[in-house]
Amino acid sequence: MHTIQINDDTYTLPESWDELTPKQLLYLVKLTKSDIPVEQVKVYMMLYCLKAHVCRHKKIFKEYVRIRIWQESPTVRFYVRRHSYLLHSEEVSMLANLFDFLICSEEDSSLPMRKYYHLTPDLTTTPYPTIHCRLWKFIGPEDQLLDITFEQFMYLQTYLDAMRSDPTKIDHLLACLWHRNKVFDINQLDKDAAILHHLPEDRKILMYWYILGSLSCMANSYPRIFSGEGKGSYGRVFDAQLRLLDSLAQSDMTKKPEIRKGLLLDALYSMDESIRRKEETEESLRNR
């Protein structure tokens, strides 16, 4: 967390996606659905995380901006203290820049010397370990998708691709990770997706951000396996999921069910080691 000091008062602000609370993330979702510029997104997030309100009146405050911050008392429950500060607009902008981690800039290939800005959802902390929808309790994944099975990952990939042409497939995508049973059951996927369809759209977007952030983190951890480079791949790892399964099982049909139900991380580690040994062998042959 960032620690900032305004006059003699100390406050904290998040310095990464994983330090944002679910409530703060939902507010960010609402901001992204509006038409406000990127720079204003950072200002609004700074004010929201500080529980602050801003007021600018040229005749009264002249070149200053007045900020009021509401702070809960550490000793008295529900008692709120209000602090007011006069800051220059440059100081407000400097505080807003602490949220640069939300934004990524890239060169616009169609227009040289021009950049475009977009959000980079690097969220790897699950926002909803459990979630309730239509009186049903759904069990979600751990942080960074550490506990999902290889089978879940296969269907996750399938519905990520399907969402490119049909965004409504997000319900099935979420049902790959959030399920009513203690363990994932592909036979219940359609029913789970039908129930999750009733979740608020903002929550779905937040859960989708978590998936993208976790897959991006996974891609960075296993660069030999994941196709594409950097954070743009978002988990598009295998061109053919069944071929991968066959490769891991070494074409042994009796091993495939076990691999499907096994942890994804175990499968990724096995593949990474296999690729590493192959690269070492090829390097050794070239050096002869």
pLDDT at residue 139 tops 50: yes
Token readout for 283 is 């390097």
Query: What's the confidence (pLDDT) of residue 273?
Result: 79
**Is the distance from CB of 133 to CB of 196 less than 8 angstroms?**
yes
- The position carrying tokens 């809960």 is 72
277 or 58: which leads in pLDDT: 277
- Percent of the chain exceeding pLDDT 70 equals 79
Q: How far is CA 196 from CA 95, 136, 184, 193, in A?
A: 38, 10, 15, 5
Phi/psi at 8 (5° precision): -105, 10
What span, in angstroms and rounded, lies between the C-alpha atoms of 127 and 124? 9
Question: What would the mean pLDDT of 172-197 be, rounded to a whole number?
Answer: 94
Angle at 150 between CA 252 and CA 135, to 5 degrees: 135
pLDDT for 208 equals: 96
- Range in 88-102, 187-201, 217-231, 257-271 with the lowest mean pLDDT: 217-231
Q: Which two tokens stand for residue 287?
A: 């050096």
Q: Give residue for tokens 């994941």.
A: 226
Q: Which residues contact 56 (CB under 8 A, 6 or more apart)?
A: 64, 65, 66
Higher pLDDT, 140 or 245: 140
- 69 versus 18: which is more confidently predicted? 18
**Tens of pLDDT, residues 231-287:** 444 334 444 455 565 566 665 556 666 677 888 888 888 877 777 777 778 777 777
Provide DSSP, 160-202: HHHTTT-GGGHHHHHHTTSBSSSS--GGGHHHHHHHHTTS-HH
Q: How far apart are CA 142 and CA 126, in angstroms?
A: 6
pLDDT in tens, 254-265: 666 667 788 888
C-beta atoms surrounding 230 within 10 Å: 11
More confident: 222 or 227: 222
Range with lowest mean pLDDT among 35-39, 59-63, 144-148, 157-161? 59-63
Please tell me the predicted confidence (pLDDT) of residue 209.
95
Q: Are strands 2-6 and 103-107 parallel, antiparallel or unpaired?
A: unpaired
CA distance 268 to 4: 41
Sheet holding 80-88, edge to edge: 52-55, 64-72, 80-88
